[in-house]
Amino acid sequence: MEERIPVLGEKFPEMEVNTTHGRMKLPEAFKGKWFVLFSHPADFTPVCTTEFYAMQKRLQKFKELGAEVIGLSVDQVFAHLKWIEWIKDNLGEEIQFPIIADDTGAVAKRLGMIPAGATATARAVFIVDPEGKIRAIIYYPPEVGRDWDEVLRALKALQTSDAKGVALPHKWPENELIGDRAIVPPAGTVEEIKAREEAQKKGEIECYDWWFCHKKI
């Protein structure tokens, strides 16, 4: 199999995986839904444990956005099962999302998840839309834990962009310049610039300049 990070906009590759919830076919198992697949380096490790605890705490927020969550590492399924049992018994959170047991490393290699010179997966995140297209890819090294609130923000921003035909600014919806407003895609013709000027006069949009306009959504 080809070992590379897929390109944004590509279809998530079809594969059958073994998980803590049984055999699953991806992306078919989540057909018509957004899903977030994330990898972690290893079970029974401190940083990964904090990530799983935090993800379970936020799982309902992902579901409220119509998204499913699935984890992955190159551990065997019995290790996953024992680890999530430990998390429940010691930390009080029951991990409710499936975890892929990629003990052969085939899935990780196919998705380019294993860093150069390593045998375990990096902290990768793939956000996939209801059509099975990869819309966002985020990578962290093993020594740095992720912020699931940022992944939630990215998911919501993608959904908003699709629904409203807008772009979203830094740290949206808490941007320092325009708050929770959305950015109108840049004009590409003289006619579009004139249309922007008219829209601004009508109060439909606000602009710093014709190439930087924003509006309420």
Residues 74 and 178 in one domain: no
DSSP H helices in 13-147 = 46-64, 77-91, 106-110
Asked if the structure places residue 4 within a domain, the reply is no
Residues 179 and 131 in one domain: no
For residue 52, the domain's CATH number is 3.40.30.10
State how far Cα 18 lies from the chain centre: 21
Residues 134 and 54 in one domain: yes
Residue 216 clears pLDDT 60, i.e. is over it: yes
Asked if the structure places residue 159 within a domain, the reply is no
Residues sharing a CB contact under 8 Å with residue 51, sequence separation 6 or more, in sequence order: 40, 123, 145, 146, 148
Residues 118 and 181 in one domain: no
What pLDDT is attached to residue 128?
Answer: 98
- Which one is catalytic: 48, 100, 178, 205? 48
Look up the pTM and report it: 0.94
Mean pLDDT, rounded, for 203-208: 95
Residue 129 clears pLDDT 70, i.e. is over it: yes
Q: What is the CA radius of gyration of the chain?
A: 20
| Mean predicted lDDT score pLDDT of the chain | 95
Residues sharing a CB contact under 8 Å with residue 110, sequence separation 6 or more, in sequence order: 1, 2, 3, 13, 15
Residues 139 and 197 in one domain: no
Residues 133 and 170 in one domain: no
Residues 129 and 180 in one domain: no
Residues 133 and 44 in one domain: yes
Asked if the structure places residue 187 within a domain, the reply is yes
**Which of 98, 120, 147 is at the close of a domain?**
147
207 is catalytic: no
| b/e 25-36 (16+ beta carbons within 10 angstroms → b) | ebbebbeeebbb
- Please give the backbone phi and psi of residue 96, each rounded to the nearest 5 degrees, phi first: -105, -5
Asked if the structure places residue 172 within a domain, the reply is yes
Residue 2 clears pLDDT 60, i.e. is over it: no
Asked if the structure places residue 158 within a domain, the reply is no
**Which of 147, 179, 200 is at the close of a domain?**
147
User: How many structural domains are present in the chain?
Assistant: 2
Reported as a single tens digit per residue, the pLDDT across 145-192 is: 999 999 999 999 999 999 999 999 999 999 999 999 999 998 889 999
**Which of 97, 121, 147 is at the close of a domain?**
147
Asked if the structure places residue 123 within a domain, the reply is yes
- Give the domain range for residue 183: 165-217
Residues 140 and 216 in one domain: no
pLDDT bucket at 117, cuts 50 / 70 / 90: confident
